Structure 1
């Protein structure tokens, strides 16, 4: 009996592994980054979460929200209130003054997860020619009774503006839409900071303000609750962006996970072969039946 040639056998084994790997559509979604829980609609792995939020988060040493203007550290995510608090380590605060830069979001981010209404942007050390002090002065509003004098007088970092000009430079409390449509150069203000939960800051001095940006998001009801109750995780097909229920490292479903699959047991991560999969035959040259390996549906 002829002995199969080793190169041919190795080639067939390679074909087998490629066939099996092609069936593995999803990897298991990570549900934590450092100490921040990751739940739907967010995901840090391809195919996890909702497709409109894909590639917005990055998990390295910490969890970061990715925008065209930089990476912003995620301080917390409140899934009940559908909000996320991010912080820019390069942003000026009451205790540190840093070079100004713009806060820029993509068009999709501006629609799906914009800054919340109770987040304000404080434009500081503005020139007298600033648009927000002239033609667009209506964009500035009263922030819980706080003033520019209070800001420049209370904060160690912002006192510099007062000392350099020997006066109180103009400032502007405004919304995200102002910095969305006008850059800091157009606004003609040297620095900005952002504060959230402003409704609760009446009578609270700048030293105790909550510095950062709170984002609000909303997601349509896509049946993820049914998927979660079955032990799965809501995700999407990376090619079609259609919703799928991820049940294990190598198994998914359309709506919910089927019975008999333990989604929390690594041993259950098997490769399901569809009923329509063709028979794969590994045979030596010459058509001999010796050593044939069959994989049946």
Structure 2
């Protein structure tokens, strides 16, 4: 094989292309389909903040939030309000009834990105022996004047509870802390759903509620703004988890890319 051999030239081009591909794919991706991926989140290891490492997964069609209980489709990320709205495919809604399913987060997730205060978990078709109707009944609260009867009579899927019991089975409007510390089996409620932006749902019927879980996060500034202004991308060392300003595929800085 000589330098003029077409096969050698093709081989050389292929090597250069693979090196270029490796370089371009090692940088942090900024989009998953139509959802922007900005700090503190990332879908590539070493990008974003280490507290949110391995929390997101990007498929060919959707972006998912990963917890020990499953993968939850991310509907929106609001970087100004620092909120993420996810949807549990296993929970019941007005249009579909599904068996109960525990929503479980890791301890880190419960601290760094817990469900927001304006997210309500609705425990439905609870037995009269349910802890939230007895010893822990203080965990249930009035949700913008809404009632169990309204919920069961408004939604097509929830009407089944009325029919089977020939009455209005107990339900409970509660917070994430309740389902965090007690499983659905312990709570003794057959189904659950979750609703967000509840502060604006007074006088709004269940058919028009926003079903899903809104997560809220907060993170102290570790130098990302300075890094971004210098043209870098915020990330971290995958071994030490210390902050890194990614300046290129081959160059990192501990603060910014001003001298790179």
Q: TM-score, normalised by structure 2?
A: 0.89
Q: Deviations over 1:199-238 (max 9, x none)?
A: 0000000000000000000001111111111111100000
For the residues of structure 2 that align with 1:174 and 1:88, how far apart are their CA atoms? 17
Q: 1:152 maps to which residue?
A: 152
Deviates more, 1:249-258 or 1:153-162: 249-258
Which aligned segments of 4 or more residues in structure 1 are displaced greater than 3 angstroms? none
Alignment correspondent of 1:53: 52
The alpha carbon displacement at 1:27 in A equals: 2.3
**5 Å matches for 1:29-48?**
29-48=28-47
Name the SS for the 1:64 alignment partner.
Answer: strand
Residues 89-238 of structure 1 mapped to structure 2, 5 A cutoff: 89-238=89-238
Preserved CA contact (<8 Å) 1:27 1:250: no
Q: CA deviation at 1:83?
A: 0.5
In structure 1, runs of 5+ residues without a counterpart are 1-19, 262-297
Q: What CA distance in whole angstroms lies between the structure 2 residues aligned with 1:51 and 1:27?
A: 17
Residues in 1 aligned to 2:55 and 2:144: alpha-carbon distance in whole angstroms: 32
Can you list the C-alpha shifts for 1:6-30, whole angstroms capped at 9, x where unaligned? xxxxxxxxxxxxxx9xxx9x92100
Output the aligned Cα RMSD.
Answer: 1.4
Aligned to 1:28: 27
How far did residue 258 of structure 1 move? 3.4
Inter-partner Cα distance in structure 1 for 2:98 and 2:190: 10
Q: Post-superposition shift, 1:257?
A: 1.2
Alpha-carbon separation, structure 1, partners of 2:205 and 2:58: 34
Count of paired positions: 237
Q: Secondary structure at the match of 1:244?
A: strand
Q: Match for residue 247 of structure 1?
A: 247
CA positional deviation for 1:82:
0.5
Contact 1:57 1:65 in 2 (8 A): yes
Contact 1:246 1:253 in 2 (8 A): yes
More moved, 53-62 vs 123-132: 53-62
Q: Judge conservation of contact 1:27–1:248 (CA < 8 Å) in 2.
A: no
Q: TM-score, normalised by structure 1?
A: 0.78
Counterpart CA distance in 1 for 2:130 and 2:90 is: 23
1:54: Cα distance to partner? 0.1
Q: CA deviation at 1:89?
A: 1.6
Paired position in structure 1 for 2:68: 68
Largest Rg, 1 or 2? 1
SS in 2 for 1:170: coil
Q: Which runs of 5+ in 2 are unaligned?
A: 1-18
Whole-angstrom distance in 2 between the partners of 1:63 and 1:257: 30
Partner of 1:85: 85
Offset at 1:91? Answer: 1.4
